[in-house]
Structure 1
Amino acid sequence: MTGSGTKSAVEWLVSVAPDPEACRWEWERNPLGVALLPAGRLWDVLILPGDLGYPTLDVLTRCIDRPGPVLADFGDARMGFFVPAGTVARWIGTGIRGAGRGTWIVVPYPGRASGAARWLIPPDGSGTLTDPALLELAMHEAAAGLAREGMEPG
C-alpha cells in the first residue's frame, strides 16, 4: 500500500484518536511503527486464535471481494477482524475475545513492517468493515473444516 491509499488509511485510523494530529505525528515517527488506538468509536475488533482466524479469513475472501481490515499479532497467535462499533457488546459467541468501547489496540502503520503486529488486510481508508454475521458464518465454516481435518480450533 503506497501513496494516497496509505494516506487515506492513516487518516481513517487516526480519526478515532483523542487528538488525531498528535497521534499521526507520533505514529509516523515511532521507531516501532505502531500506535495505540481506541476501539469502539468507528470499529470494534473481534480477536480469534490464529488457528481459527486463518481458515476464517480464507472462507471470507472466497465469499466477498474485500473484507474489512485484519491484523495478525507477532507469531500469528491471534488475528483481529475489524467489525462495526458496538459488535463486541452484542457478541455472544464463546472463545472469541473482543476490543470495543473502553479498550485500546496496538495498530501498525499501514504499509510498514512492525514487530508487534502486521496487516493481513490493511485498511483502505474507505471505512470498509467486516459484517459480523458474515464473519460468524465464516467462523462456523472454518471450524467445521478444522473438525473434518481432526483439528480443534484453540
Structure 2
Amino acid sequence: MVEAGMETSRSNGSDASSREVCDLVTVPTRQGLEAVDILRRGAGDAVGPVLHDDGGGTLGFLVPPGTAAAWDVPGSTCTETDGRGLSLNPEPPVEGSDWLLPPGEADLATDPAVLRRALGEAARLIEAADSCR
C-alpha cells in the first residue's frame, strides 16, 4: 500500500523543518473504517492521519516510531520506517492512495495502545455482524 517510511512535520508553531518519522499499521479497509469510527467517538483526538489504498483495500494508520518492534495484532502489519520516509502534505504520498484523515485534520500519529484496542473492538463488531447474516 504505502512505502515503509513516512516523515511528518508538526505545524504547531515549532520549527517547521523538524521532522518525525512514523511507522505504519496497515489493516483491511472494513476493520480500519470501524476502528476510525471507534477512535473518533472516543475521548479527545485519538486518531492521527490515515491513508486509504483504493486498489489494495487497506487503511494505513500512522503510529509513533518504534511501534513495529512490538506490534502483534492479528490481521494487521506494522512497517518499521528505519528513518526512511516521505513528507506528509495535503497530497497523498503514494500514487493510488488517498487520505481518509489528512495531516492537519488529525494528530501527528495514533497512539498504538489506543489503536490496538480499537482494532480489537472493530474485529469483534465485524464478527458479530457477520454472524447475524
Q: Give 1:85-96 correspondences, 5 Å limit.
A: 85-96=65-76
Number of paired residues?
A: 119
In 2: Cα distance, 1:75 partner to 1:107 partner: 22
Q: Give 1:44-59 correspondences, 5 Å limit.
A: 44-59=23-38
Deviations along 1:8-54, one digit per CA (max 9) or x if unpaired, are: 49xx99855xxxxxxxxxxxxxxxxxxxxxxxx52111001112111
* C-alpha RMSD of the superposition: 3.4
TM-score, L = length of structure 2:
0.71
The 8 Å contact of residues 108 and 119 in structure 1, kept in 2 or not, is answered as: no
Q: Tell me, what secondary structure is at the counterpart of 2:82?
A: coil
In 2: Cα distance, 1:54 partner to 1:132 partner: 16
Which segments of 5 or more consecutive residues in structure 1 lack a partner in the other structure?
1-6, 17-40
Matched, 1:144 2:120: no
Q: Which has the higher helix share?
A: 1
TM-score, L = length of structure 1:
0.62
Q: Give 1:59-98 correspondences, 5 Å limit.
A: 59-66=38-45, 67-75=47-55, 77-98=57-78
State, as a whole percentage, how many aligned pairs show the same letter. Answer: 31
The 8 Å contact of residues 44 and 82 in structure 1, kept in 2 or not, is answered as: yes
Which segments of 5 or more consecutive residues in structure 2 lack a partner in the other structure?
1-9
Q: CA deviation at 1:106?
A: 6.7
The 8 Å contact of residues 21 and 81 in structure 2, kept in 1 or not, is answered as: no
